[in-house]
Structure 1
């Protein structure tokens, strides 16, 4: 027990010591806490002040950084603004466009309204500077001295300028427009500037194209007065074709270089571009038309050839000059109508000129070819060169209307039934008849029928030879069978009239059979050779078929046969020496229709025969 009591007492002592220590610790901690509270109260204002200063220091640092950023940005903006205001340079075009691209991007994301407006103004200024640069390059490509050689040669767009324009145009097509950037402040102004630049492009290129073509158009008109009409008409057609080639090339360039590539803008600009060309075409054709109207009989084939050339180009003109430009006006069509009107007039006027030529000549006209005979042959041959144009014009005029109120010929088909070949045959038939009628009228006006008959034979033979026997072209193909029969019939009639007026008096001397004595026979031959000498002298003045040796020889042979046959018939039963009736001898007298003079003293008597010796 004692031990346990001792342990309990020991425990109580330890417990008391622990309690004392705890109280002492509690007292110390309470004192420490009191001191901490006092310390906190004294440090807290300082802490709060320090935290505020730290925050202020951070804010100041941020402000200073922002100030540096703004200053740097402003320096960049100033540099970019200076670059834009200076305008694009050929060697800095990429840098210039990059600046505008950055500004456009910043406008799209910028929330500062004032800054956006300023940048928009810069973008618009830069775009207009680019547009001015574009206009300058186009002006350089549309200036200079055009080619002035014998043949038209278009001047291509300067390759170096074209290389500069391509990237420029590609960027200009990305500029903001109201249709693509409706909220962009600069879009309306940029679009207006682009429209003006594109219109200026059309004006400059159109003026340049006209300048290149104008000299050649004037040359065509000037040459038309001096060269063959068919050739001149084809030259005009070639000139118009060159104009359309130029227009086609310009349309291709416009499609590539137009800042506003929409079809509506292209059509409007192309219409502006070709206006100088259509004006040049109209004025040149008007000059050519005035030349034709001033002397239609001389320029008939110029009109027909021009009509043929323009008609062949009508479809291409519609595509190039009308459809591409969205135009309803068709200057070529109007020009074709004006030229066709001259063509329509030419047909009746040609017939009227031939009739007037017969009525206007008074007195003797000689025995040679008259102008309208030669011109008729030339006219019908030249018709073959412009056959399609002549056919088209005649169909428009109407079958028989070229007779100017004289009425259509009996037996002709109705207008609806007339084809190309028939209308030409009808017209050439009337031409042949009018010419033959005028020749007959002129031959009858001659106071000396013998000369009139030679005149008629020469002219009718020339027509027949040139149109039927030895044509230079395929003119026979447009002469109907009635026309050919008319020519042959009139030739036979003219030849019979020539024989009758020139050789009937010669043969008449041998018809008197009252006195059959030697003296009477000698007198008959004397009168025969007197008349032969007279015919000889006449034929020295009236050359028969001078330009047709073969035809002249044929007529001479027929004359010999006529005389010999008549002498033989009138002197049946009477023997003549071979020399008297030798056709070869008579041929020597008459063959060339020079009919050399022989004197009656050269006729000598030999028994009952009368021999004529060749001198």
Structure 2
């Protein structure tokens, strides 16, 4: 219990000590608060005194700052007013030197600074700068003009004409601008184009480029153009144009190489949206020269249409193919080539109908038809022309598709100026069929006009028949011995019809002797009918004996008339001019028509002159020999 009382007294003492400590700290805090309040009072009093003293000074400082700012603005404006004259004086000497003396990089830097200064002045729009702005514009114009001139001079250094045949024969690409020149030219082009965009005008450098490179292309290709005209001149007036003998194909190849090289130059120098215009401007001179060459060739072709129409077909194909190739690579020049090709394309289209009329005219102008029935050389000439057309089937098919089926009969239907496309040269079934129709129209025109011409001039149907057969045979032979055979193999019925016409005309002349061999079975009243059957069972003596005197005289007359007519026709047959195939055909045809009738007649009545040969001139073996001599 004593321990417990002592412990509680110690705890109380400790609590009283803590209370005293807290009271002591509270008293100190109260004193500190009073001191802070006293300090704040003094500070407030001092602040009012400072404000009263500093306020006027601060206001004066703000006014001085405003004045200073205004002075700075005035000085800046004065600097801007003085700047143009300083820029003009600093850059004018550089620009007067020119890019050659000053160096292209320094010169372009000077021009850019003038341009930048002018742009800034135009934005300030100060009235005092108007004269300075005018001076800078003149200086900038002079600088750009010198750059343009420098551009042309640099370009001209690499624009001397070249010999195109060297690059064509060696299969080398045409020369392009050097890399160093391309870099410098590109810098100038870019600068002037940028300046032009600012002024919303076209860059003069586009035309400047065309003014230099256009003549380069024209002069480079000039010899090829001249060669195309020279190679068209004929040494032999009637010679038919042969494929590939004209220089147009080489001309086109050179033009393609030169144009593609030029397009690559343009792509390296100009922006994409400028390529089309620059390329067209640059190539127009060379295409105009092509158009002039085509007009000259067209005059030559029209003067020699029957022999040189093939040159027109070749040029149509060559130039159209060139146009398609360049369009595929560049997307340009299609309409320009179409316009350049138009005269020859129209002549090529018109030639199809004109050749038919020319065939008629030539036949009708022939003074005489060969009296021996020989074929006219015109037939061979016409077929040679058709054979030659096969070599140009590609362009001819396209032309025929463009004018339509039969368009060659009623005149060519003029097309628009649209350039030929790849479909224009579709040589599929339709194109070949149209050409096959044209060939048969030509053959029909030839043969019908020959028949009309020969009818009043040839004596007798036999000669007319031989004449038709000779011409038909020449036509048939030239078809089968050439590429025409595969094209016309399904259309030979027309030729066969003319062959039948000629054969019918000729065989009609042999009806007279054959008619003498047609007899009546004679019987006397009350007598038996004469025996009939094979030659071995026929008793000619009995048959003749059974005839009356009048009937015998009739048989004798028939033999006599047959001999006379037959000998006359044989003699005429032998003097007629016949193609080998015609002579063989007609000889066999006559034999098949006459020999069976004669042998039958001979078997029955050869005893009419009892072997004296007075009436029966031919026995079966001798007449067979005559027929063999006709083949």
Q: 1:139 aligns with which of 131, 134, 156?
A: 156
1:205 maps to 2:239: no
Task: Map 1:52-451 onto structure 2 (within 5 A).
Answer: 85=97, 88=100, 97=105, 132-144=149-161, 146-147=163-164, 162-169=178-185, 171-172=187-188, 175=191, 179=195, 195-196=203-204, 198-226=206-234, 228-229=240-241, 231=243, 236=248, 239-256=251-268, 258=269, 261-318=270-327, 323-324=331-332, 330-366=335-371, 367-404=373-410, 420=431, 423-449=434-460, 450-451=462-463
2-structure distance, mates of 1:522, 1:119: 124
Residue 457 of structure 1 and its aligned partner are, at CA, apart by 1.6
Q: 2:487 aligns with which of 461, 477, 480?
A: 477
Residue 279 of structure 1 and its aligned partner are, at CA, apart by 0.8
1-structure distance, mates of 2:561, 2:629: 18
Residue 253 of structure 1 and its aligned partner are, at CA, apart by 1.1
Are the equivalent residues in 2 in contact too, given 1:100–1:123 (CA < 8 A)? no
Q: 2:600 aligns with which of 569, 577, 580?
A: 569
- What's the secondary structure of 2:307's corresponding residue? coil
- What's the secondary structure of 1:143's corresponding residue? coil
Flag structure 2 segments of 5+ consecutive residues without an equivalent. 1-88, 121-128, 412-428, 520-543, 545-550, 612-616
Alpha carbons of structure 1 residues 457 and 149: separation in structure 2 relative to 1, 3 Å? farther
Are the equivalent residues in 2 in contact too, given 1:399–1:423 (CA < 8 A)? yes
Alpha carbons of structure 1 residues 477 and 198: separation in structure 2 relative to 1, 3 Å? closer
Residue 84 of structure 1 and its aligned partner are, at CA, apart by 8.2
When the two structures are superposed, what TM-score results if normalisation uses the length of structure 2? 0.59
2-structure distance, mates of 1:556, 1:181: 91
2-structure distance, mates of 1:313, 1:219: 18
Q: Tell me the equivalent position of 1:459.
A: 471
Are the equivalent residues in 2 in contact too, given 1:457–1:498 (CA < 8 A)? no
1-structure distance, mates of 2:254, 2:288: 15
1-structure distance, mates of 2:114, 2:316: 63
1-structure distance, mates of 2:233, 2:571: 48
- Range with bigger deviation, 571-580 or 162-171: 571-580
Are the equivalent residues in 2 in contact too, given 1:355–1:434 (CA < 8 A)? yes
Residue 460 of structure 1 and its aligned partner are, at CA, apart by 1.6
Alpha carbons of structure 1 residues 353 and 158: separation in structure 2 relative to 1, 3 Å? closer
Alpha carbons of structure 1 residues 491 and 246: separation in structure 2 relative to 1, 3 Å? same
Residue 372 of structure 1 and its aligned partner are, at CA, apart by 3.8
When the two structures are superposed, what TM-score results if normalisation uses the length of structure 1? 0.61
Residue 403 of structure 1 and its aligned partner are, at CA, apart by 3.5
Alpha carbons of structure 1 residues 225 and 552: separation in structure 2 relative to 1, 3 Å? farther
Residue 276 of structure 1 and its aligned partner are, at CA, apart by 0.4
Are the equivalent residues in 2 in contact too, given 1:348–1:402 (CA < 8 A)? yes
2-structure distance, mates of 1:507, 1:477: 41
Are the equivalent residues in 1 in contact too, given 2:468–2:502 (CA < 8 A)? yes
Q: Tell me the equivalent position of 2:499.
A: 491
Are the equivalent residues in 2 in contact too, given 1:443–1:452 (CA < 8 A)? yes
2-structure distance, mates of 1:458, 1:334: 46
Alpha carbons of structure 1 residues 527 and 284: separation in structure 2 relative to 1, 3 Å? same
Aligned-residue CA RMSD (Å): 5.2
- What's the secondary structure of 2:391's corresponding residue? helix
Alpha carbons of structure 1 residues 151 and 584: separation in structure 2 relative to 1, 3 Å? farther
Alpha carbons of structure 1 residues 86 and 362: separation in structure 2 relative to 1, 3 Å? closer
- Deviations 1:485-512, CA, capped at 9 Å, x for gaps: 23212212312322443x5566678789
Aligned length: 473
Alpha carbons of structure 1 residues 445 and 308: separation in structure 2 relative to 1, 3 Å? farther
Alpha carbons of structure 1 residues 107 and 561: separation in structure 2 relative to 1, 3 Å? closer
2-structure distance, mates of 1:280, 1:520: 84
Flag structure 1 segments of 5+ consecutive residues without an equivalent. 1-76, 183-187, 406-417, 592-615
1-structure distance, mates of 2:364, 2:116: 91
